[in-house]
């Protein structure tokens, strides 16, 4: 089993969502980002500690070599990778970078309208656009600090 499979199986087995995994250039630091969608305020330190303790044991049993394990929340500028992420965060402001340019552009910013049938819909100032999910290189939520302060909507 590869590292990602081990992480996915363990994290989901504990009732969390594996959002992202990063490895340092030499593979010595393993960063794992988790979330729990049904938890309104997101994951906290106790959640991270629980997952970290379990992952440490599983990685040792699976003989996966690393020096340091870091488990954290995805943050307010979390990455969006899966189609379910694009559906869950519909209505949110995102920054999007494409693998291949569309109309001479690779970078877009706008309000995510959702995803379906392998495409995501984005509303920008000049109108609505649709992109293939396979062409998405990076996508992140753009934090709205005014909303976060007002308490109208959790970011």
For the stretch 1-46, pLDDT in tens is 789 999 999 999 999 999 999 998 887 899 999 999 888 888 999 9
What φ, ψ does residue 117 adopt, rounded to 5°?
Answer: 55, 40
pTM confidence score:
0.81
What φ, ψ does residue 144 adopt, rounded to 5°?
Answer: -110, 95
Q: What pLDDT, on a 0 to 100 scale, did the predictor assign at position 149?
A: 53
53 and 113, same domain (yes or no) = no
| CATH number of the domain within which 45 lies | 3.30.300.70
Domain end marker among 72, 98, 115: 72
49 and 96, same domain (yes or no) = no
DSSP 66: -
Token pair, residue 15, equals: 């009732």
């Amino acid at each position: 089993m590869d590292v990602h499979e081990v992480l996915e199986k363990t994290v989901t087995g504990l009732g969390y969502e594996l959002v992202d995994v990063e490895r340092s250039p030499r593979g010595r630091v393993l960063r794992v980002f988790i979330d729990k969608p049904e938890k309104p305020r997101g994951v906290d330190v106790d959640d991270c500690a629980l997952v970290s303790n379990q992952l440490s044991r599983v990685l040792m049993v699976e003989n996966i070599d690393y020096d340091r394990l870091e488990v954290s929340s995805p943050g307010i500028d979390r990455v969006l990778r899966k189609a379910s992420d694009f559906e869950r965060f519909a209505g949110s402001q995102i920054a999007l970078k494409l693998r291949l340019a569309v109309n001479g552009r690779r970078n877009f910013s706008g309000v995510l309208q959702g995803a379906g049938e392998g495409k995501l819909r984005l509303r920008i100032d000049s109108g609505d656009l649709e992109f293939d999910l396979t062409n998405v290189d990076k996508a992140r939520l753009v934090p709205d600090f005014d909303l976060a302060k007002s308490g109208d909507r959790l970011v």
